[in-house]
Amino acid sequence: MNGKINSNKSAKFIYYTCFLTLQMSEPNLNIGKGEMQRGSIHCGELEDGTSVTIPYFVMRGIRKKPVLLLNAALHGEELNGIEVINRIFETINPLELKGTIIGVPVVNTLAFRARSRVDPIDGKDLNRVFPGKKDGTITERVAYTFFNKFVKRADFGIDLHTGMKGHLLIPHPRVRTYKDFSPSLEYSRALGTEIIFYHEGSKGMLTIEAGKIGIPVVCFEIGEAGRLDEYFIDAGMKGVINFMKYFGILDGEPEIPEKQILLKNYKEVVSQYGGLFYPKVKAGEVAKKNQFIGIIKSPFTGEKHYVRAFTDCLIIGVRSQPVVRAGTSVAWIMTFEEGNILPSLQNKNLLKLPSKMVSITKEKGIELKE
């Protein structure tokens, strides 16, 4: 939705994959300047004796601190973040890095293997069981190992996710609140997206449980499960690099829009008919009340039903799998009633980029509070 994504990939695709060793041990943050480590850590055993592991990379720059944790695939079918982490390790020169990065491309290897959100045998959602249990089920043990050996050793982190299958989400950080826990917005804003979502979370989510012990972890949603999509991978790269620049791990100015919009509480647009859904909007577009969102057409009678926006809204997600029943969600929207334009991030000498979303929203005659 930000139009052009500038990832500088043509010039920078140099492979810095001269890893020191492949170790079955916890990450070593005491490696030398400019060194990289690749390894795997044991979490528990399967029925046939196979070890369940968490594979990781470590890259140490010219300074040791801060330590940034990048992880993906807490949900095994969410692939874009896996590629983002691999590209970060392929493209960043450790000698340009002021800090250490720990990269965990796939936390939930069991679910990844099963092409599934969760491990189908255990059935537990890894992102609902943090900080995990040492003697729990295999998913709880993975959570325990990840939380204690990776999260607790980081100063902050980015937790990469996507929408579920058939549920494509625009790139955005999702700020999770829980009871009296409400994280600082600065970490989410440092990704540089125009839209930031404020959303009540659940107990056991990584961002909430890490935040409660003072380690800010940002949930960053990029795209749709089950797919590798260049647009969302680029958006993920851009967000991670912005974050690293903002916190001084990389040199350079982060590209952060002067105006970022904070939206709260998404709503679903539900089909009232069965058939095939033909979307007429894209994720990231602004829609006025009564605007067409799509058509549901019966493949047997040709009868058409028009789906309209029931309010002024931002389309944050559109169904990408066309077969729907009555009751299937076809779009996910956020309304502007609770939308606020955030004040520009201060004292960081940021580039003043125009905010496309603010201008489109105003063009459509939708009010945003400043």
The footprint of Zn ion on residues 198-237 (CB under 5 A) is none
Which residue, 125 or 285, is less far from Zn ion as judged by CB? 125
Q: Cα 145–149–153 angle (5° rounding)?
A: 145
Among 60, 87, 141, 161, binds Zn ion (CB under 5 A): 161
Q: For Zn ion, how many residues bind (rule: CB under 5 A)?
A: 3
Kindly state the smallest distance separating residue 74's Cβ from Zn ion, in Å: 6
Q: Is 75 in the site for Zn ion (CB under 5 A)?
A: yes
In the stretch 298-337, what mask flags binding to Zn ion with x, by CB under 5 A? ----------------------------------------
The one segment of 35-43, 52-60, 75-83, 313-321 that binds Zn ion by CB under 5 A = 75-83
Distances (CA, A) of 139 to 124, 245, 329: 6, 34, 29
Which residue, 38 or 161, is less far from Zn ion as judged by CB? 161
The one segment of 144-152, 153-161, 258-266, 341-349 that binds Zn ion by CB under 5 A = 153-161
The one segment of 70-78, 233-241, 287-295, 333-341 that binds Zn ion by CB under 5 A = 70-78
Kindly state the smallest distance separating residue 75's Cβ from Zn ion, in Å: 4
Which residue, 75 or 172, is less far from Zn ion as judged by CB? 75
Distances (CA, A) of 61 to 151, 156, 296: 19, 16, 53
**Measured at CB, which residue is nearest to Zn ion?**
161
Name the DSSP letter for residue 281. S
Give the tokens for residue 115: 């092409």
Q: Is 141 in the site for Zn ion (CB under 5 A)?
A: no
Residues ≥6 apart with Cβ < 8 Å to 203: 128, 178
Kindly state the smallest distance separating residue 160's Cβ from Zn ion, in Å: 8
Which residue, 146 or 247, is less far from Zn ion as judged by CB? 146
Q: Which residues is 72 bridged to in the sheet?
A: 160
Distances (CA, A) of 142 to 4, 112, 146, 327: 38, 13, 6, 35
Which residue, 97 or 283, is less far from Zn ion as judged by CB? 283
The one segment of 71-79, 165-173, 200-208, 291-299 that binds Zn ion by CB under 5 A = 71-79
Residues ≥6 apart with Cβ < 8 Å to 298: 273, 274, 275, 304
The one segment of 77-85, 118-126, 136-144, 354-362 that binds Zn ion by CB under 5 A = 77-85
Which residue, 136 or 226, is less far from Zn ion as judged by CB? 226
Strands (E) across the chain are located at 22-24, 36-45, 51-60, 63-72, 98-104, 156-163, 167-177, 195-200, 217-224, 260-264, 266-270, 275-279, 286-287, 292-297, 304-308, 313-319, 323-324, 329-335, 340-342
Residues ≥6 apart with Cβ < 8 Å to 224: 162, 163, 164, 165, 166, 167, 168, 169, 232, 320
The one segment of 46-54, 67-75, 192-200, 332-340 that binds Zn ion by CB under 5 A = 67-75
Which residue, 75 or 259, is less far from Zn ion as judged by CB? 75
Which residue, 82 or 215, is less far from Zn ion as judged by CB? 82
Distances (CA, A) of 244 to 258, 287, 344: 18, 33, 18
Residues lying near Zn ion in the complex (CB under 5 A): 75, 78, 161
